[in-house]
Structure 1
Amino acid sequence: MKLAVVGGGSTYTPELIDGFARLRDTLPITELVLVDPAAERLDLVGGLARRIFARQGHDGRIVTTSDLDAGVDGADAVLLQLRVGGQAAREQDETWPLECGCVGQETTGAGGLAKALRTVPVVLDIAERVRRANPNAWIIDFTNPVGIVTRALLRAGHKAVGLCNVAIGFQRKFAALLDVAPSEVHLDHVGLNHLTWETAVRLGGPEGEDVLPRLLAEHGEAVAADLRMPRELVDRLGVVPSYYLRYFYLHDEVVRELGRKPSRAAEVAAMERELLAMYGDPALDEKPALLAKRGGAFYSEAAVDLAASLLGGGGSPYQVVNTYNNGTLPFLPDDAVIEVQAAVGAKGATPLPVPRLDPLYAGLVAHVTAYEDLALDAALRGGRERVFKALLAHPLVGQYEYAEGLTDRLIAHNREHLAWA
C-alpha cells in the first residue's frame, strides 16, 4: 500500500508518522512518500520520520521528494495538508480583519475566505495530477477550510473525503470524563466544518444511550472551560458547540481579545522554528512533547481510520467526515458539504440520518452554507465583486462598510496568490 502526503514538510507531519507507525496493523503501509517544495524542511522531517518508523519497528519505506507527479504516482491514497503562503499568509489572515472590527482567524470570516481563495486553485491542480497518476486514488483533505476545499474537490469529480480533528478530540475528551474507552463513545456530530454541535453523546454506537445530559450535569464546568465559553451558555444550549462557535457567540469579546495579544500564527511560527531545530537532532526518534502544542491533536488516528476504511481495511464503520449532504440536512442543497457521522467504506462516505436540527443551529448552518457557495465561486472564478459578495454574506461580516473595507484588504494582502488580481 502506497500513501503520499502532500505538504509532507509540515512540522506537524511527525504526529502523522507516529500514528502510521503505531497503527500499522490497521493501515499496513509499504511505501510512504512525503511531498513538499521546501527541501530543507522536508529533509529534516523526513529524517525524523524514518527514525520514528525504525524505533517502532515499522518496515515501510519512507521517500521524500519535491516532485509532486513522482510522489503521487501509483499512490492508493493522497493526504493533503497544505498551507499556501505559509505562516506569513496566516499571520495576515489573523490580523488585517481586526482593522475592520471583525474576527481575524485562518479558517472562518474574512481570513478564512482569503485562505480559501489561495488554496482551492492549488488543491484542484494537485487533484488533477493525482487523477492522472491513479484515477482510483482516494484524496483525504485535511487542508483548511476543509468544507470549501472538499466541496471544490467533489464538484470536480474527485474521489475525496474531508477530515477534521474536532470530532475525535471531543470523543477522546468525553471518553476520559466518562471513564470509558474512546471506541465506546459515538457522537451525534452535525453541522459544517468548524461549525458543529455535539447534539448527543451515545455509549456503544449510533443507537446507544445518550449520556450528554449527564455529561453536562457532572462535567459542565470542564467542558465550558475547554471551549472558553460561559458555563451558562453551554447549559442553555444543552449541546456542546465546537470551539469555533466562540467566534460567533462571543464575537466582540474575541475581537477585543485578539487585539490585545500576539497572533496564533506568530506563536506557531516560533514553535515551528524550535521544532525544526529538534528534528535536526539525529538522536531524536520520537515525536517531541512540544508538538502537542502545535495543534491537530489525534489527527493521525483519524487519518489512519479513514484511510483504512476507504482502502478496504479495518477502519471503524462510522466516522465523522466532510462529504456531500445528499438530503441529510433537508434545508441544504444536496451538493453542500456537511460534517457528520457517516458510514465509511471502499465506496466512500454515506452520512447517517440526522434528527431534525433545531432552528437555533439550522439557521446558522444555512447562512454559512450560502457564504460557502459564494466563497467557492470566488475561488474558482475570481473577481473583486465575487469576493465582496462572499464577505457580505458571511455572518461574521455582514455589513456593507465592513465588506468593502475587507475586500480591499484581502486583495492587497493576497495579490501574489490570486491569478486574477
Structure 2
Amino acid sequence: MNEMSAKPAGAPLERRIVRVDLADRSYNILIHQGLIDEAGAEIAARMPGVRLAVVSDETVAGLHLERLSLSLKAAGIEHVPVIVPAGEGTKSYDGLIRVVEAVIEARLERGDAVLALGGGVVGDLAGFAAAVTRRGMGFIQMPTSLLAQVDSSVGGKTGINSPQGKNLVGAFHQPALVLADTALLDTLSPREFAAGYAEVVKYGLIDRPDFFEWLDANRQSVFAGGTARTEAIALSCEAKAAVVAADEHEGGVRALLNLGHTFGHALEKFAAYDTARLVHGEGVAIGMALAHRYSATEGLCPEGDVARVEAHLKACGLPTRIQDIPGNAPSVEALMQAISQDKKVARGKLTFILTRGIGRAFIARDVDAGHIANFLSTELAA
C-alpha cells in the first residue's frame, strides 16, 4: 500500500511516503518537516508547466503563504493567491462561487491546478472548486492542520455545507499530490491540535487496536512533536489510504471512516458551525464517545472499552458529552432532524458506525430511529 513500510513506532525517520493506490489516479502523500520549502520542486517534477491557484484562508495565508510562494517562484511555477475568510462559514455556496470565479478570472486552464493551503475547510472548498471548474482541474493538497493531514486531505472527498447539513454538496475528486509538512503544525493552538488528534485515534478505534494501544502509551509524545508525531501521521495516512483504495466512493467499507461523524455532524449543525463553541474534531470526539456508549446500551460493546475510550479522549483535552458544548443544549428533535439528513441515510433508513469494542467498528444499517432518540434523551438528561 505504501512505498515505505511503517517502521516500529518511535524509529527515527524524517521523511515518509504513503501511496494511495487508485490505478491511473494513484498519488503520493509526502510527510516530513520543512516540506513547504520544497513544494515547488516536488510539484514541478510531477506537473511540469502547471500554473496554480493557491487557495488559503486569511489566517493560514498570513502564516505560510509567503514561504510557499517563494518555493513556487524558485521552481518557476506561475501562481495566483485566492484568499478566503477563515472558518466553517466559508465552506458555502458563496465561498465556492468566490473561488471558482477567481480561478476563471486568472485564466487558468483545465490542465492547470488548484492548490489548497490550509485545513479541512480550505481543502474541501478548493477541491470542490477544482472538481467543477472547467469540468475538472488538477488538485494539490497542502494541509496545515493535523486533522487535514491525517484525514480530509486524503481520499478525494470535497464539498461544501448546505443550510440543511454538513457536506451535503460535493464530489469525489482525488488530488494529484499531498504535501504534509509536519512543522506547520507547530503554529496550531492546543485546542486545534487536540481536535485533529480525534481523527488520529479514530483509526485505532475502527480496526487497528494495536495503534490505539500505541497511542494510549505515546499520546504525550505525539502532542510534543518529533518522531512520534510523524509516525502517528504516517500510520493514520496508511490506514486511510488502505480504505480509500478498497472503496473509493464509499459504497462499502469506507463508511467506517465516519465513526463518530453522524452524531458529530448533527452537533456541529446544532452549534451553527460556530467554532467558538465546537470545531469538527471536537464534534467527532463526542460522536465517537456517543457511538461507543450507544453500542454498549445495545449490548454490543463492553463497558470497559467505553471507559477506556472516554478516558483517552478526556486526557487529550477533548469533549465526550453533549453537555461539554458551551451554550444551550440541543433538543432531541433538532438532533434527529440533522441525523436524518446524514449522507449515509439510505432510502430513509439510518446508518451508523457502531462498535463491538476498541478496533471492532462495523456498519450498522437500518438502525432504529426510536432507539437513537431514546438514547439521546437519556444522554441529554445525564
TM-score bracket relative to the smaller structure: 0.3 to 0.5
TM-score, reference length from structure 2: 0.38
The one of the two structures with greater contact order (alpha-carbon pairs below 8 A, sep at least 6) is 1
